[in-house]
Amino acid sequence: MYYIILSVAVLVMLYVMVTYVRIKKMPEGTPMMMKLAGIIRGGSKTFLKIQFRTVAVVVVFLAIVFSLFIETWSGLTFLLGATMSSAVCILGMHSATHANVRTTDRARNTFSVGETVKVALMGGSISGLAVQACGTFGLVLILCIRGGVDPAASGYGLIKLSACNPTIMMTTTYALGCSIVAMFNRVSGGNFTKAADISSDILAKVRHDMPEDDHRVPNVMADFCGDNVNDIAGNCSDLLESYVATIAATLAIAVSIFNKAETAAKSLFDATVLFPILLAGCGLLSCLIGIIIVTVRKMSDNPSKELDLATYISAGLTMLGGLGISYYVFAGEELYDSFKLGWVSPFIAALLGIAVGVAIGKITEFYTSGDYKPTKGVAASAPEGPAFLVTLGDALGSRSVLVPCLCIALATFASFKICGIYGISIAALGMLSFVGTTVSIDAFGPISDNAGGLAEACELDPKCREITDKLDAVGNTTAAIGKGFAIGSAALATVSWITSFVSGYSSGEPVLNIASAVVMSGAIIGVALVEYFSAMLTKNTIDSAVLMADEGERQLDGILAGTAEPDYNRCIELATREALKKMTVPSTIAIFVPIVGGLLFGLEFVGGVLIGSTLAAIPKAIFMGNSGGAFDNAKKYIEGGNLEGHGKGSAAHKAAVIGDTIGDTRKDVVGVALDIFIKMMSTVANTLVSVLRNVALFK
């Protein structure tokens, strides 16, 4: 069965490469379009190249440590995870920076929304399908080489670890390799893109009353590069990590349940290992079918309808396939007592995860789209000034936290009652089982944003800009939905890891005593870490934005006087240097806190840190993402002429720009980094649970 899933992953990657070639063969447009697209492409590549040099040093060092002290082959699987994540980032970046200008050109030549959407979605599908295919391929390859999972095996490094299952350690370190790259991408990418975006907006809209994306503003090209750095590369590595980590946590929980059961048959253990792999493969194939069906047909002029269709086809096929897989794997087995509904229990758990994913997407859309009352209300407050607008946006963000958290809590509780702790991880996997389509639609946003920016910068026909603006408005909503999905999936994935972590050192049921002073102390530290991490990212971004604004201002005097040309590369280099300089400390907090905490205070303290950070990060990330998304779309709502008497350049518009600037750091820096922060701490803790089992300086 593993080889069949491996073949599906290879098939999808072949489709990805064919689509990439098709995109590259499309015309790029005018010489000006080609020139600016080349600058965006070159700047994005330069950023990744320099970043990966730093990441490579950290990855190689940790790989050696894992092989020496954890499990002999775990260093190689850690490298494999980092390589897969890096490959997805590079492929996604290349595809997006080729698709953006071709999307603009298709709008310029056809003036058709449907035809333009098709190009943008094809470009996005390269990122999305590559995420799920690469994640599946690497993990299943490990299982093929190992011959599956042996629940009783022991692993060896320089130190014999009798409690360490080698295959589980390999899949866990594979997930950790993905986490490392995702963390660096989110931290540095967020700093790069928002420093460029904020400085560009301040220079153009606030200080000089220039149009958005005016090519005379030297920061504009860095802003375009940033869309790809953070929203493409960062999002790809983030959701790849969630997807892989969820499967790895499910396998670890399957081993833990079997080893604690007294009478379970080996065939049941094999079934609990096989089910998540088959579900992942089914989801991958469903995503491929959904994307193909949508992109080969003639599209309507309603982008949201086409994107929703891709989601519904992918999710629907995954649900049908999941039911068949659950019957095939578990029917006829003498199941664990926790499987309350028999063979259908894992399917119901997966269904809960899928439902939560769709629900969070719709809730996020309601609170962040300019088509609905909440964001319209924020826009309507703009004439009263930025104080009213920001305060109302904060209230919207806080209010938007409740229902997603209820959905996550309900899915966690119900899946546990239906299928035990195994059900929690399966619910998380259900939510991520069609991640290929989710990322494809999410990548549609930055491609459309770049396309609109190129149309403006190249001074194309206003009709072309109208089409790209329509795509951009939908893209902003899909980006917000993608952020909500990433946060929700991170929450369920982290709960799975915490369950696996506690199961790894407890002899009975995985119970963490929250009344314990050690656990409570860890929880308090975990909450504080979330706030400190958020503050560090925000300050770093603003510091970089100030430097970039000063550089842009220095150049603008000569540019506006007609005596100088914009030095785009200077701004791109400045954004790159500042982002990479400021990424190391925040990125390493998630690595060292579980290690130091475990060595000093033991595993229960680490469990408390994981609980505290998760409970603090989930609502904060939702608040940051939704309030930031509402600010962004409130600004666009006003720019679209929807607020009578208050168009572009008005006091209300400037108030909305201030709100959007505040929201930029929230949704694209802090909000998106918090989910990988809690996932990475949980993954590190699971990697070291065998080492730290009997180690604590202060007991």
Cβ partners under 8 Å of residue 38, min gap 6? none
Q: What is the average pLDDT value for the chain, to the nearest integer?
A: 88
Instruction: Answer for the pair 502, 510: CB distance below 8 angstroms, yes or no.
Output: yes
Q: Judge whether residue 14 has pLDDT over 80.
A: yes
Percent of the chain with pLDDT over 90: 43
Q: Which pLDDT belongs to residue 65?
A: 87
Give CA separation, 251 vs 165, 228, 260, in Å.
11, 33, 15
User: With 0-12 CB in 10 A as exposed, 13-18 as middle and 19+ as buried, what is 260?
Assistant: middle
Tell me the average pLDDT across 466-494. Answer: 80
pLDDT tens sequence across 378-421:
999 999 999 999 999 999 999 999 999 999 999 999 999 999 88
Tell me the average pLDDT across 306-329. Answer: 92
Distance of CA 184 to the CA centre of its chain: 13
User: With 0-12 CB in 10 A as exposed, 13-18 as middle and 19+ as buried, what is 21?
Assistant: exposed
Q: Which helix (H) or strand (E) holds 6?
A: helix 2-25
Q: How confident is the model at residue 479 (pLDDT cuts 50, 70, 90)?
A: confident
Q: Which pLDDT belongs to residue 154?
A: 60
Compute the distance between CA of residue 458 and CA of residue 222 in angstroms, rounded to an integer: 16
Tell me the average pLDDT across 82-96. Answer: 92
Q: Which pLDDT belongs to residue 510?
A: 67
- Both structure tokens of 281: 């493969």
Instruction: Answer for the pair 173, 46: CB distance below 8 angstroms, yes or no.
Output: no
Cβ partners under 8 Å of residue 210, min gap 6? 203, 204, 216, 217
**Cβ atoms within 10 Å, residue 515:** 6
Q: Which pLDDT belongs to residue 528?
A: 96
User: Whole-angstrom distance between the N-terminal and C-terminal Cα of the chain?
Assistant: 46
Compute the distance between CA of residue 79 and CA of residue 63 in angstroms, rounded to an integer: 6
Q: How confident is the model at residue 535 (pLDDT cuts 50, 70, 90)?
A: very high
Distance of CA 11 to the CA centre of its chain: 24
- Both structure tokens of 109: 């030549």
Instruction: Answer for the pair 249, 179: CB distance below 8 angstroms, yes or no.
Output: no
Instruction: Answer for the pair 659, 634: CB distance below 8 angstroms, yes or no.
Output: yes
Q: How confident is the model at residue 507 (pLDDT cuts 50, 70, 90)?
A: low
Give CA separation, 147 vs 140, 166, 167, 404, 605, in Å.
10, 12, 9, 40, 36
pLDDT tens sequence across 124-147:
999 999 999 999 999 999 999 988
Q: How confident is the model at residue 158 (pLDDT cuts 50, 70, 90)?
A: very low
User: With 0-12 CB in 10 A as exposed, 13-18 as middle and 19+ as buried, what is 312?
Assistant: middle
Identify which has the larger pLDDT, 218 or 505.
Answer: 218
Question: Apex CA 126: angle with CA 123 and CA 127, to 5°?
Answer: 100
Cβ partners under 8 Å of residue 681, min gap 6? 590, 593, 594, 609, 610, 613
Q: Which pLDDT belongs to residue 474?
A: 81
DSSP β-bridge partners for residue 337:
none
Give CA separation, 37 vs 19, 281, 600, in Å.
19, 36, 52
Lowest-confidence pick of 55-69, 151-165, 684-698: 151-165
Compute the distance between CA of residue 685 and CA of residue 699 in angstroms, rounded to an integer: 18
Q: Which pLDDT belongs to residue 429?
A: 92
- Beta strand pairing status for 155-156 and 160-161? antiparallel
DSSP β-bridge partners for residue 161:
155
- Both structure tokens of 105: 């050109």
**12 — phi, psi (to 5°)?**
-65, -40
Tell me the average pLDDT across 370-384. Answer: 92
Instruction: Answer for the pair 284, 136: CB distance below 8 angstroms, yes or no.
Output: yes
Compute the distance between CA of residue 677 and CA of residue 657 in angstroms, rounded to an integer: 29
Q: Which pLDDT belongs to residue 317?
A: 94
Instruction: Answer for the pair 292, 122: CB distance below 8 angstroms, yes or no.
Output: no
Amino acid making up residue 266: K
pLDDT tens sequence across 627-640:
998 998 899 889 88
Compute the distance between CA of residue 173 and CA of residue 136 in angstroms, rounded to an integer: 15
Instruction: Answer for the pair 454, 36: CB distance below 8 angstroms, yes or no.
Output: yes
Q: Judge whether residue 159 has pLDDT over 50.
A: no
Instruction: Answer for the pair 494, 682: CB distance below 8 angstroms, yes or no.
Output: yes
Q: Which pLDDT belongs to residue 699?
A: 61
Tell the residue number behind the tokens 């081993």, with chain if given: 255
Tell the residue number behind the tokens 């379009």, with chain if given: 33
Q: Judge whether residue 307 has pLDDT over 60.
A: yes
Tell the residue number behind the tokens 């300019």, with chain if given: 370
Tell the residue number behind the tokens 């840190």, with chain if given: 609
Identify which has the larger pLDDT, 264 or 421.
Answer: 421
Lowest-confidence pick of 157-166, 237-246, 276-285: 157-166
Q: Which helix (H) or strand (E) holds 268?
A: helix 266-296
Question: Apex CA 148: angle with CA 258 and CA 146, to 5°?
Answer: 130
Q: Which pLDDT belongs to residue 509?
A: 66
pLDDT tens sequence across 621-669:
999 989 998 998 899 889 888 888 888 878 898 899 889 889 988 988 9
How would DSSP label each residue in 557-595?
HHHHHTS----HHHHHHHHHHHHHHTSHHHHHHHHHHHH
Compute the distance between CA of residue 119 and CA of residue 213 in angstroms, rounded to an integer: 22
Give the helix ranges, DSSP H, for 400-516.
402-432, 435-457, 462-505
pLDDT tens sequence across 98-115:
999 999 999 998 888 889
Identify which has the larger pLDDT, 357 or 248.
Answer: 248
Q: Is the pTM of this model over 0.75?
A: yes
Q: Judge whether residue 354 has pLDDT over 70.
A: yes
Cα atoms in the 13 Å half-sphere on the side-chain side of 631? 32
